[in-house]
Copies of this chain bind each other. A is one copy, B any other.
Amino acid sequence: MADNRGGPAHDPPETVADVGEFGLIERVTAGRVQPATTLVGPGDDGAVVAAADGRVVASTDLLVEGVHFRLDWSTPEHVGRKAIAVNMADIAAMGAVPTALLVGLACPATTRSEVAEGLAAGMWQEAAAAGAGLVGGDVVTASEIVISVTALGDLQGREPVTRGGARPGDVVAVCGRLGWSAAGLAVLGRGFRSPVNVVGAYRVPEPPYAAGPQAALAGATAMIDVSDGLLADLGHLVEESSVAIDVRTDLIEVHQRLVDVGTALGADPKHWVLTGGEDHALAATFPEPAAVPAGWRTIGTVTRGGAVTVDGKPYAGGPGWQHFR
- Using a CB–CB cutoff of 8 Å, the interface residues on chain A facing chain B are 16-17, 19-22, 24, 39-40, 43-64, 66-68, 89-91, 93-94, 96, 100, 102-106, 109, 135-144, 146, 148, 150-153, 155, 160, 162-164, 223-225, 240, 322-325
B322 touches A103 (CB 8 A): no
| Cβ–Cβ < 8 Å partners of A63 in chain B | 140
B59 touches A47 (CB 8 A): yes
Distance in angstroms between the alpha carbons of A163 and B42 in the assembled complex: 12
Choice from B16, B49, B60, B240 contacting A56 with Cβ under 8 Å:
B49
Quote the shortest CB–CB distance from A118 to chain B (angstroms).
17
Quote the shortest CB–CB distance from A110 to chain B (angstroms).
10
B100 touches A136 (CB 8 A): no
Choice from B58, B135, B139, B164 contacting A102 with Cβ under 8 Å:
B58
| Cβ–Cβ < 8 Å partners of A46 in chain B | 57-59, 90-91, 93-94, 96, 151, 153, 160
B55 touches A50 (CB 8 A): yes
In the complex, what residue of chain B is closest to A89 when comparing beta carbons? B45
- Among the interface residues A44, A150, A153, which one has the most CB atoms of the partner chain B within 10 A? A44
| Cβ–Cβ < 8 Å partners of A60 in chain B | 102-104, 136-138, 148, 150
B56 touches A152 (CB 8 A): yes
B141 touches A43 (CB 8 A): no
Extra inter-chain contacts (11) besides given A46-B94, A53-B54, CB under 8 Å: A21-B325, A44-B162, A46-B57, A46-B59, A46-B90, A46-B153, A47-B58, A49-B58, A50-B55, A104-B148, A140-B323
In the complex, what residue of chain B is closest to A61 when comparing beta carbons? B138
8 CB < 8 A contacts A-B: A24-B324, A40-B162, A46-B153, A47-B57, A58-B136, A61-B138, A62-B106, A144-B144
Quote the shortest CB–CB distance from A16 to chain B (angstroms).
5
Choice from B21, B48, B136 contacting A322 with Cβ under 8 Å:
B21
Quote the shortest CB–CB distance from A103 to chain B (angstroms).
7
Distance in angstroms between the alpha carbons of A63 and B142 in the assembled complex: 9
- Among the interface residues A59, A60, A225, which one has the most CB atoms of the partner chain B within 10 A? A60
| Cβ–Cβ < 8 Å partners of A162 in chain B | 40, 44
With contact pairs A46-B90, A109-B324, A240-B43 given, residues A150 and B58 touching in the complex (Cβ less than 8 Å): yes
Quote the shortest CB–CB distance from A141 to chain B (angstroms).
5
With contact pairs A138-B62, A142-B64, A144-B144 given, residues A44 and B323 touching in the complex (Cβ less than 8 Å): no
B59 touches A54 (CB 8 A): no
Closest 8 CB pairs of A and B: A148-B148, A51-B51, A46-B59, A45-B93, A21-B323, A150-B150, A60-B102, A62-B104
| Cβ–Cβ < 8 Å partners of A52 in chain B | 54
Distance in angstroms between the alpha carbons of A62 and B149 in the assembled complex: 11
